[in-house]
Amino acid sequence: MHPRARRWFAQQTTAAGDWPVERLRAAKDLTVVSVVLPALNEERTIGTIVEGIGKLAERTSLVDEIVVLDSGSTDRTAEVARQAGASVFHRDDVLADHGSRPGKGEALWKALYVTHGDVIVYVDADLLDFGEHYITGLLGPLLTDPETLLVKAFYDRPLLDVSLTGGGRVTELMARPLLCAFFPELAGVVQPLAGEYAARRSLLESLPFAPGYGVETGLLIDTLGKHGLGAIAQVDLGERTHGHQDTAALGRMAATILSTVAARVMPDHPLWPALTQFQREDGELRAVDSVVSAQERPPMTEVPEYRYRMKFPD
């Protein structure tokens, strides 16, 4: 491991158990905390997660709002989330003049516009084992250390079919090798693609948001570039199980993450904006092209509507 990564790992890695509620309540003071769940057709799992966050909020006042950013679900995600106590916004209804783009990054970016927190906690909506420690663990470093701007979760990731290899396939097969090669200081980040992370609004509003599944990688690299390793921490949340996509879907995810890294490593060498995959249908082999978008959303601080809402000086 790169020596700076090793030092960072030793200094900036904690566990959920290091952040008891009492310690956090004492540290929270006037900090406003928003929890955001990006969701695309998560009706089966989102209700339990929102209810769990709501119980934590009610018992401890550590969470001030729960927002679901619906990425265009066609199931009952919005209804289930609302019934569970979340404020639900449809992607198309937020910053409508800027249009709507596909993918998770769009949901996370638009969530900045409809939330009020000084700290934003992002949680995936397909978790099968959500626990309050997801929130308290991620809040710990942010509520107690002003130098910390971004906190990544990490966990063991068994695949649902335990006979298979571990989860985090894109992490292990692509993201980790890419980051170790091009950004070795990040080699100590155990789960760079983790969908559970928390950050200060002052950081998130200052960074571009990569499209789709590139969003986590872009935010991590850009936080390192803008503020250095000291602004990043990570927390061990134990084990995480979630819904899994098939290999072709993860191939498309990998292509987006590669595009996000390439935009930072070799910005003058644009990649071919499509991934060609193959599938056999009735014995016939068919090539299937998917668009790989590299179009990033700008820092929210450059969006006039956001500047107006946040009362930024003209």
Ligand X SMILES: O=c1ccn([C@@H]2O[C@H](COP(=O)(O)OP(=O)(O)O)[C@@H](O)[C@H]2O)c(=O)[nH]1
Alpha-carbon distances, residue 294 vs 93, 101, 212, 270 (angstroms): 23, 12, 9, 9
Footprint (CB under 6 A) of ligand XDX, residues 146-205 = 157, 167-171, 193, 195
DSSP string, 89-146: EEGGGSSGGG---SSHHHHHHHHHHH---SEEEE--S-BSS--THHHHHHHHHHHH-T
Pick what 71 binds: ligand XDX, ligand X, none; C-beta below 5 to 8 Å, kind-dependent: ligand X
Pick what 103 binds: ligand XDX, ligand X, none; C-beta below 5 to 8 Å, kind-dependent: ligand X
Pick what 200 binds: ligand X, ligand XDX, none; C-beta below 5 to 8 Å, kind-dependent: none
Q: Give the separation between CA 307 and CA 313, rounded to whole angstroms.
A: 8
Q: Amino acid identity of 220?
A: L
Query: Of 107 and 207, which CB lies nearer to ligand X in the complex structure?
Result: 107
Query: Of 8 and 122, which CB lies nearer to ligand XDX in the complex structure?
Result: 122
Footprint (CB under 6 A) of ligand X, residues 231-250 = 242-245
Footprint (CB under 6 A) of ligand XDX, residues 196-255 = 213, 216, 244-245, 250, 253
Among 40, 67, 120, 231, which residue interacts with ligand X (rule: CB under 6 A)? 40
Calculate the CA 16 to chain-centre distance.
18
Tokens 């789709």 correspond to what residue?
212
Torsion of CA 210, 215, 221, 227, to 10 degrees: 90
Q: Is residue 5 involved in binding ligand X (CB under 6 A)? A: no
Footprint (CB under 6 A) of ligand XDX, residues 73-132 = 104, 124
The CB-of-250 to ligand X minimum distance in angstroms stands at 8
Pick what 157 binds: ligand X, ligand XDX, none; C-beta below 5 to 8 Å, kind-dependent: ligand XDX
User: Helices 133-144 and 21-28: crossing angle, nearest 10°?
Assistant: 40
Torsion of CA 137, 57, 104, 164, to 10 degrees: 50
Site residue total, ligand X (CB under 6 A): 17
Q: Is residue 42 involved in binding ligand X (CB under 6 A)? A: yes
Closest CA to 133 of 27, 26, 14: 14
Pick what 169 binds: ligand X, ligand XDX, none; C-beta below 5 to 8 Å, kind-dependent: ligand XDX
Q: Give the separation between CA 179 and CA 189, rounded to whole angstroms.
A: 10
Footprint (CB under 6 A) of ligand X, residues 44-83 = 71
Query: Of 196 and 205, which CB lies nearer to ligand X in the complex structure?
Result: 196
| Residue 19 in tokens | 């952040």
Contacts of 273 (CB under 8 A, 6+ apart): 259, 291, 292, 293, 294
Q: Is residue 133 involved in binding ligand X (CB under 6 A)? A: no
Pick what 236 binds: ligand X, ligand XDX, none; C-beta below 5 to 8 Å, kind-dependent: none
Q: Is residue 174 involved in binding ligand X (CB under 6 A)? A: no
Q: Which residues pair with 37 in a beta bridge?
A: 68
Among 117, 195, 211, 218, which residue interacts with ligand X (rule: CB under 6 A)? 195
Strands (E), the chain: 13-15, 33-39, 65-70, 87-90, 119-122, 150-156, 197-200, 232-239, 274-281, 284-291
Residue numbers of the site for ligand X (CB under 6 A)? 38-40, 42, 71, 102-104, 107, 124-126, 195, 242-245
Residue numbers of the site for ligand XDX (CB under 6 A)? 104, 124, 157, 167-171, 193, 195, 213, 216, 244-245, 250, 253
